Chains A and B, each alone.
Chain A
Amino acid sequence: MERASRRKFLMRAGLAGCSLAASPLITPMSFASIPSDNRLVVIILRGAMDGLDVVQPYGDRAFSSLRKSLKFGDAGGAFDLDGYFSMHKGLASLIPLWRKGQLGFAHAVSTPYRNKRSHFDGQDLLEAGTGMNAPIGAQRDGWLNRMLQTMTGVEAQTAFAIGQEEMLITTGAAPVSNWSPDTHLNLTLQARRMLELVYHDDPLFGGSLDEAIMLAQALNPAAMLDDGETGDSKMMQTQMIASLKGGGHKRVAEFAANRLRAETRVATFSINGWDTHGGQRRALTRALGQLADTILILERDLGDIWGKTTVLAMTEFGRTVRENGTQGTDHGTGGAMVMAGGALKGGQVYGKWPGLGEGDLFQDRDLMPTGDVRAYAARAMQGLFGVDKSVLEQTVFPNLEIGTTPEIIL
């Protein structure tokens, strides 16, 4: 059997023996439109974010004895959210959003993954969304894709996976577009004409080139095609090497906003750098800075559409409640989820707090999960796109019980 793939769309068009010209990528076709004008952005925080340091339970008396060098609350320059939790100073630029009710958190949440604490398996499970009833690795499509499969009017651009990272979350039979803003397509006008000529009789190549040129221009209309300096390969080489360097998260966010302003309704990408085994103070501040930049770029660039947007940032698992010997934390279980957007019922920390006292911890080391991160995602899909509860609990997240998980969408 062929692997279900985020790129399956064109393949299906090709294999079904129908003309590729019938592909909406190549010939625009009219579909019933996806039944919503809302937007969902899912950010995978790879490396396991320390939820306890992001949303700090300073009101829990046990906390200070568990965290020695990792300062929190007033001592850590954190922002008091609600008299019990404080927010890490790395997210300080988001305080105005919190005040507007456009930033929120879910605490003590996790996927059903337990005991082994491997990034690789944990991320697979988070993105597959299927829980532990299927063996890890056997999960070959992702929950965002399964959601799209249940909707009508899904077109190539409805969902976008952005960046170089493979996104299992959008893998599957439904069409999903994919683009990394690190992709450069520097073509002189002459080269472009020549390529269009040699691709003319091969619709797979021709259609993909047209789309690629459109996407490259969407982000950077001026610089994409220059017909001044012809074939300056030195410049291109420099650019290629430069693309290995940082700052990529801003380009990703800008590109996501650009697509979401057009016909895209679902966008997903990852932010790395959360595996803070040592020197967590600096490392976490840096990673949170990237997350905050990303959210603020989305808010800025989406303009009016921000009001219809929900951003969910989730991670594979939390980190140990106790600090380790290198001013960091190790792989844990329960963690936190960051939510933002104008469509969010924010300004609060959702979830049932399990406590950090004697006997409260999972295996005497991790925050005890009291909620399933998938249930919050399900609430978002229900609220934004009207996906049926039964579809969410059976198809998108098999065997999930949404139960009393709060409704997080306005």
Chain B
Amino acid sequence: MTFDPQTAAIRFGTGLSPRIDPPTSVDQMLDTLRRPDDMARKFPVDRFADIQFTIDEIRRLNRTRRENKDSPIAKEAKQRIRLLKKSARRWQASWLNAALSRGAMTQDGFRERLVQFWGDHFTVVGKVSILRYTVSTYVEDAIRPHLSGTFADLLKAAVFHPMMLIYLDQVNSVGPNSRRAARRKGTGLNENLAREVLELHTLGVGANYTQSDVRSFAKLLAGVTYRGNESHEFAGFSAEPGPIKILGKSYRRGVAQLRDVEQFLEDLALHPDTAKHLARKLAVHFVSDAPDQGLVNAIAKTYLASGGDLTATYRAMLNHPAAWAMPDQKVKQPFDFIVSSLRALDVTPADMKRLNWKVMRAGIYAPLALMGQKWQSPTGPDGWPEAAGDWITPQALAARIQWAMTVPAIVKPDLPDPRKLVQTALAGRASGALAFAAKGAENRAEGVGIILAAPEFQRR
């Protein structure tokens, strides 16, 4: 099997649209990826720097509350914090709306899919206060601009982002022999980020590294922190003096600096185990829960040969025959299911703008949770599961069916004719049974629902 436009749109993009043409070739998909990011401009999402002021403000107000206990000032500060958190919730909804809009209306579906893929590979969950609502800013800063360069650049951007440093407790990690540890009791290393970088982001859990590598890496990382400015910084005061040996190589000669950490991350990026781990993840995410080993090997080989160049790596995947094998193996994740539905329904910017807070809650947030993918809230740093059986459970399938039958009519009051939709959304993929059902439904909403809930649309 080789490239075909419909499979390119469905399997490697955000689905078919009645208005936007599918990709014409692998080269075209990858060229588009290197061109300016139109969707980011058209449906903007804030950067972490844009919300920094609000984070600082909440910190100030909390201090005010502590310092003026039981006074009207404290009460006012509390009220103000409540309002700020409420606005952050609304921002999150607008960023979710932007993410849906981008996927639904883009000519560059592969880019949106890669954003989801790498955002999940480098999962961040906001644990406290308004950080619960600001994961989109991390994705916009660290993931989206680094999709087509080297993996090392993407890795550094993700690992050093304040949201990541906070999520995996790096901000509190102090080298045991640092100046800070000497001065303050009760400080110490936190291994969380170091462990997850090795286990999840680079080498993979089965790779050949030890607990002592984790600990050494944590020592090297100590000092990388975020202290309420716009980005990460390196606090030499908390850094562990070198040299530090990790995976058989020595890092940090002389004065501790961020460059030592970067050097190690760059080495990690080009480790053969990292190549294997990433190749497998790409193949599992895009092609099959149990991918062809030849496909995985081809991706890993190109990854290493190109020095971790992501565009070359994607090309290796897209040029491999196994990537285009039929039938469709993957089940769309709930977010992707909703995006591709909106795309099939041909939503416009005006349609998306009409989705107010109440509709976003009842029609997007709540259904996503029932489908098993509560927005930006996976249970751990390992992100969302991939296997079809993880997503199609009785509960989650019921939620998908119910969404398909009800929400399209809210978003797009003039629903398409099911007989047309079955063509435009599925091209040649609809079974005879589905074509029959699309014709036989008692009304439009039900016909649309059956098409969107059908395995032919749910799988890719």
CB-CB under 8 A for A212 and B395, given A188-B442, A325-B70: yes
> A190 on the interface (CB 8 Å rule)?
yes
Interface centre among B70, B168, B386, B454 (most CB of A within 10 A): B454
> A132 on the interface (CB 8 Å rule)?
no
Measured between beta carbons, the chain A residues less than 8 angstroms from B127 are: 118, 120
Alpha-carbon gap, A223 to B327, bound state (A): 37
B319-363 to A contact mask, C-beta < 8 Å, 1/0? 000000000000100000000000000000000000000100111
Measured between beta carbons, the chain A residues less than 8 angstroms from B397 are: 205, 208-209, 212
Shortest distance from the beta carbon of A165 to any chain B beta carbon, whole Å? 9
> B206 on the interface (CB 8 Å rule)?
yes
> A13 on the interface (CB 8 Å rule)?
yes
B404-426 contacts to A, CB under 8 A, are: 405-406, 409-410
Contact call A118/B455, Cβ cutoff below 8 A:
no
B137-169 contacts to A, CB under 8 A, are: 168
B366-406 to A contact mask, C-beta < 8 Å, 1/0? 11011010100101111101111111111111110110011
Measured between beta carbons, the chain A residues less than 8 angstroms from B233 are: none
> B54 on the interface (CB 8 Å rule)?
no
Contact call B370/A164, Cβ cutoff below 8 A:
yes
Q: List the count of A-B residue pairs having beta carbons below 8 Å apart.
A: 197
Pick the contact of A195 from B205, B389, B401 — CB < 8 Å? B401
Pick the contact of A211 from B331, B377, B394, B442 — CB < 8 Å? B394
> A202 on the interface (CB 8 Å rule)?
yes
A180-200 to B contact mask, C-beta < 8 Å, 1/0? 101111111011001101111
Measured between beta carbons, the chain A residues less than 8 angstroms from B213 are: none
Pick the contact of A183 from B380, B395, B437, B455 — CB < 8 Å? B395
> A215 on the interface (CB 8 Å rule)?
yes
Alpha-carbon gap, A91 to B76, bound state (A): 34
Measured between beta carbons, the chain A residues less than 8 angstroms from B406 are: 233, 236-237, 240
> A137 on the interface (CB 8 Å rule)?
yes
Pick the contact of B394 from A182, A200, A208 — CB < 8 Å? A208
> A281 on the interface (CB 8 Å rule)?
no
Measured between beta carbons, the chain A residues less than 8 angstroms from B372 are: 7
Interface size on A, residues (CB 8 A): 65
CB-CB under 8 A for A182 and B370, given A10-B392, A14-B389, A216-B398: yes
Contact call A187/B401, Cβ cutoff below 8 A:
yes
Alpha-carbon gap, A182 to B410, bound state (A): 20
Q: A52-60, A96-104, A171-179: which lies at the B interface?
A: A171-179
Contact call B389/A12, Cβ cutoff below 8 A:
yes
Measured between beta carbons, the chain A residues less than 8 angstroms from B53 are: none
> A138 on the interface (CB 8 Å rule)?
yes
> A168 on the interface (CB 8 Å rule)?
yes
Query: Residue of A at shortest CB range from B204?
Result: A1
> B192 on the interface (CB 8 Å rule)?
yes
Measured between beta carbons, the chain A residues less than 8 angstroms from B370 are: 164, 180, 182-183
Interface size on B, residues (CB 8 A): 71
Pick the contact of B379 from A2, A12, A166, A202 — CB < 8 Å? A166
> A282 on the interface (CB 8 Å rule)?
no
Contact call B453/A195, Cβ cutoff below 8 A:
yes
Shortest distance from the beta carbon of A202 to any chain B beta carbon, whole Å? 4
Shortest distance from the beta carbon of A223 to any chain B beta carbon, whole Å? 14
Contact call A8/B401, Cβ cutoff below 8 A:
no
> B20 on the interface (CB 8 Å rule)?
no
Alpha-carbon gap, A211 to B380, bound state (A): 28
Contact call B441/A191, Cβ cutoff below 8 A:
yes
Query: Residue of A at shortest CB range from B446?
Result: A231
CB-CB under 8 A for A137 and B192, given A7-B390, A187-B401, A244-B361: yes
Interface centre among B380, B393, B446 (most CB of A within 10 A): B393
Shortest distance from the beta carbon of A329 to any chain B beta carbon, whole Å? 14
Contact call B206/A183, Cβ cutoff below 8 A:
no
Contact call B358/A241, Cβ cutoff below 8 A:
yes
Shortest distance from the beta carbon of A87 to any chain B beta carbon, whole Å? 30
Contact call A190/B398, Cβ cutoff below 8 A:
no
Alpha-carbon gap, A12 to B358, bound state (A): 38
Q: B108-116, B176-184, B237-245, B428-436: which lies at the A interface?
A: B428-436
Contact call A2/B387, Cβ cutoff below 8 A:
yes
Query: Residue of B at shortest CB range from A242?
Result: B362
Contact call A191/B379, Cβ cutoff below 8 A:
no
> B171 on the interface (CB 8 Å rule)?
no
Shortest distance from the beta carbon of B440 to any chain A beta carbon, whole Å? 6
Measured between beta carbons, the chain A residues less than 8 angstroms from B136 are: none
CB-CB under 8 A for A11 and B387, given A198-B450, A205-B455: yes
Q: What 5 additional pairs, Cβ within 8 angstroms, besides A10-B388, A186-B405, A201-B455?
A: A10-B390, A13-B389, A171-B379, A187-B401, A215-B395
Could you list some 26 contacts between A and B, CB below 8 A? A1-B206, A3-B385, A10-B388, A10-B389, A11-B387, A14-B289, A166-B374, A177-B394, A183-B395, A183-B402, A190-B440, A190-B446, A191-B446, A191-B450, A194-B440, A194-B441, A195-B401, A204-B389, A208-B394, A208-B397, A212-B394, A212-B401, A215-B395, A233-B406, A241-B358, A325-B69
